[in-house]
Structure 1
């Protein structure tokens, strides 16, 4: 299986309390709040490098993480900063991953026109005049793959890293089965492919 790299994880949580964003922007370092252009406060961390959108309702959206561990750490740090700013919170809120965006390289060019015919028109969109990539919608896992003629791909819509892996394995197998991707080297184990 081609190696993939997580580019961004978006996760959300609910603090369970309303917030005064005008007061928070004064109390918190690295916070920006311009309600004329965006209704939420933007709180940036350098490590892990993330931006968390904090809304008056107490809902937060963390973006920019490269791993689930970074999501957890960022939300804990945001929660601590809110506590330091005088918000009475207990513990760190439960979060839910909304979207994982990952990239991979199949390491060989792909004929996208042949791919459309092979994968079937019901799940594939390809309009090269509008967008240079092929859009392939999978049901299981429920993700979207943007496949480019160079062999590079972007997987979006995943809720966990296992979904990304499953989607890349699936598209690789489907392309291989119709001769659009060269076979894997013989004797390579699943463990070697995932390494």
Structure 2
């Protein structure tokens, strides 16, 4: 069952990569990731605070992402969401990720497919990260994806304003964000 769920999530993620509106302004400057990320510090559990709606996260609430560094330098990823409500049935999808060469840890290619795919420039760009590694903003150049993440299930109004400001500065339309119900 887990293998089928992983394949289904991977297929949906791949189809979502091919279609969908961009949430970045057409005249936005090229997207830039943060200068550097200490990958070991980034590992662990992150709560999704808000996201751009995607087909592969339809009806997901209580969403988390957990990252674990592997001995080979790649990263195990476990994304979990609860179907329908924050208390709904948990659904998980696993992936393997690798840090893109020359990105100083800030651009990552995440592969949910059961077979390796060409990696290109990475599909997970950390575009804002606080000094304490407590909240982050993740997107990618096409503007179809944007996630606000936190180490805690909720953020303060000041942190939310900081994340919104970072998104706007990167050319993202924050009116497209969908809040994620957390515990």
Question: TM-score, normalized by length of structure 1?
Answer: 0.29
- Which structure has the larger Rg? 1
- Between Structure 1 and Structure 2, the one with more helix by share is 1
Question: RCO (CA 8 Å, sep 6+): is it higher in 1 or 2?
Answer: 2
Question: TM-score, normalized by length of structure 2?
Answer: 0.31
